[in-house]
Structure formats: structure tokens, C-alpha cells
Structure 1
Amino acid sequence: MLNKILLVCVLFTAGSSLTCKWMDKDFQIYSKASLALLKTMKNHSKKPTDEFELDDAAAFPNELYKHASEESRVERLRFVAHVLGEIDALFEQDQTHASWSTSSAEDFLNIISQQADAVRSCVGKHKHHLKNQRKMSMYFKRLSRHVLEHMGHSADAWELVRKEIRLHLHRVHILAQYHI
């Protein structure tokens, strides 16, 4: 509870600043922490997960990242906040059969949720580029349906999702740190 109160205070002060000090100071810390947690969540079973691949329906949305990289910093950060929100929603699903511990998943979700909220507080809500947000949302729905649901939320399915999310976290980190 104390962490949530502290986060609200930090978010309020970060959101009130025109330059958003949270992005300049804390985003990178949260980003590294989420990537580190995701790395520890790797499935260490002896069965290779490389035999499973994502189908074309769940292909990584490179064109959306390319388009976002050409936008202003505020628009890039709105995109980053949207992606983090989608990751948060994806990881709210049934992880009973995932290879990682419940506490690791909770810690990861907590970091992603706080990071998404903090980025949103820096840029505010805006419906610009709704088409790209909708495309990104559809990508995450396909990832949920074509991988998690189709594979019964198995450890292998979660490992595929974990690998995809790792790529997203790297891309949003780059987008957030890129200055025009």
C-alpha cells in the first residue's frame, strides 16, 4: 500500500513537469528491471521451445514501431504507454502452467503496470493515431488467441509470449529514450 501511495506521489510530480522527470530518471530503471525479471522467467526445461513458432497471424508489428519512431516524442511515449498497457493485460491471463513462479509474474506485472501508468501521466490521454493503437491491440489479441489460448496457456505458449514481450520491451525502451 505504501508503494502505491509513493507511486501516486511520484506520478503526480512527474506529470506536472513539462519535461517529465520520471521519463528522464526512472523509465530506464523500470525498463531494465522488467527485462531482468523477464530473463529470470525464462523456461529452463530441457525441451527446446524453438520447435514452436508463432504463426503469421501473430507476427511482430515492425511497421507500427517504424511509424512510431517517426513521430514526435509525445506521440512515441503515447505509443510506449499503449504497448506497456497491452503487455500488462496479456500477463493478467492464466499463468497456472507457466514455468515461472507466481511471485516473479506478480513482480513483472507490478513493474509494467507502474511503468505504463507513469508514462501515461507524462503524456496524458489523447486519441491521436487511434488506427495504430487499434492495430497494436489486435496484434496482442492475436497473440493471446493464436498462442496462449490455442496452446492451452501451457508453459511452451508462455515461453513464446515471453520471448515476444522481451522484443517489445527492447523496442519501447529505444522509442522512449530516442530524442528528436
Structure 2
Amino acid sequence: MQGNNSTNTTGDAEVKSTAAFPYDLYSQASKASAEEKLGFTVQILEEAAALFEEDHSSASWEERTLEDFLNVVTQQADGLRSCIGSHGHKKKNKKLHMYFKRLSRHVLEQMGHSAEAWELVRKEIRDHLTRAHLLVSSLLTTN
């Protein structure tokens, strides 16, 4: 809903070259235990929320809508975290963390937190949320 329908694909190539979507990490997570899948999903939600805490003043989003989004993401992470045993979420996935760090540094910072940079990040996060939903949904169909 927050998208501005940007047609500039130069930035899309920038994201693909510096922070390619981590399909391999999702593939690994899909073969993991239920607790590991939940832990991976919690990390995605936490990393996404942290990204949106950065300077988003150039983004063309309604501030209230962004706040609502962050509240929902945080609530989802908290809810999923409560489903994980005490040993299930002790270790973060370093590769996933580095991916989000690259989004922050190589897309947002290098593009000056511009509206275009935020649109690229928004698209990436939308894809992550879709994949995370599929990952968690797999738990419902197998258990």
C-alpha cells in the first residue's frame, strides 16, 4: 500500500548486485526444524523493523501507516518468539544479518536514504514477508 509505483529499474539492478535476495537461506530454513523456522522468521521480522527505523524522511509514506506496520511486525515477532523453546532462538543467522546490513549500507546509505532507495527496500521487505509467511505456513500444513 505504501509503494509509489516507481518505474526506475536502475535501483533494482543495484539491489540485485549488492544485496541479492537470499534464496539459499530460505531453502535451508525450509528444511530446518519447526523451532529453527520460527527463529529464522523472527530474525527476518526484527531485521526488517530495524531497517525501517532508519531515516525514512525522504520516503513517500504516511508516518502513521509506517508506525502501524512496525507495530504489527513487532507484535508478530514477539508472538512467534513465544512459540520457540528457550534453546530455539539463541543464535542469529549471520548470513541473514549480513544481508540486511548490506541493504542498509549499500542501498539506503549509499543512495542517501532517498525515496528511490526506500522503494527498493520496501519491495525487498515485501518479498521477505511473503517468503516468511510461506515458511511459517508450512508448519501449519505439516503438523
For structure 2, the 5+ residue unaligned runs are none
Output the CA distance in 2 between the equivalents of 1:128 and 1:114.
Answer: 17
- The one-letter code sitting in structure 1 at the alignment partner of 2:129 is L
- The one-letter code sitting in structure 2 at the alignment partner of 1:144 is S
Alpha-carbon RMSD across the aligned residues, in angstroms, is 1.7
- The one-letter code sitting in structure 2 at the alignment partner of 1:77 is L
1:100 aligned to which of 55, 61, 64: 61
Aligned position for 1:134: 94
Secondary structure of the equivalent of 1:123? coil
Output the CA distance in 2 between the equivalents of 1:128 and 1:163.
Answer: 27
Aligned position for 2:110: 150
CA offset digits 1:94-132 (Å, max 9, x no partner): 1100011111111111110111111111114536694x7
Aligned position for 1:50: 9
Moved over 3 A (4+): 124-130
Output the CA distance in 2 between the equivalents of 1:56 and 1:124.
Answer: 37
Please give the TM-score of this superposition, normalised by the length of structure 2. 0.89
**Does the aligned pair in 2 maintain the 1:85–1:113 contact within 8 Å?**
yes
Output the CA distance in 1 between the equivalents of 2:136 and 2:90.
Answer: 17
- With over 3 angstroms needed to count, the CA separation of the structure-2 counterparts of 1:86 and 1:178, relative to structure 1, is same
Q: CA deviation at 1:138?
A: 0.5
Please give the TM-score of this superposition, normalised by the length of structure 1. 0.72
Greater Rg over alpha carbons, structure: 1
For structure 1, the 5+ residue unaligned runs are 1-39
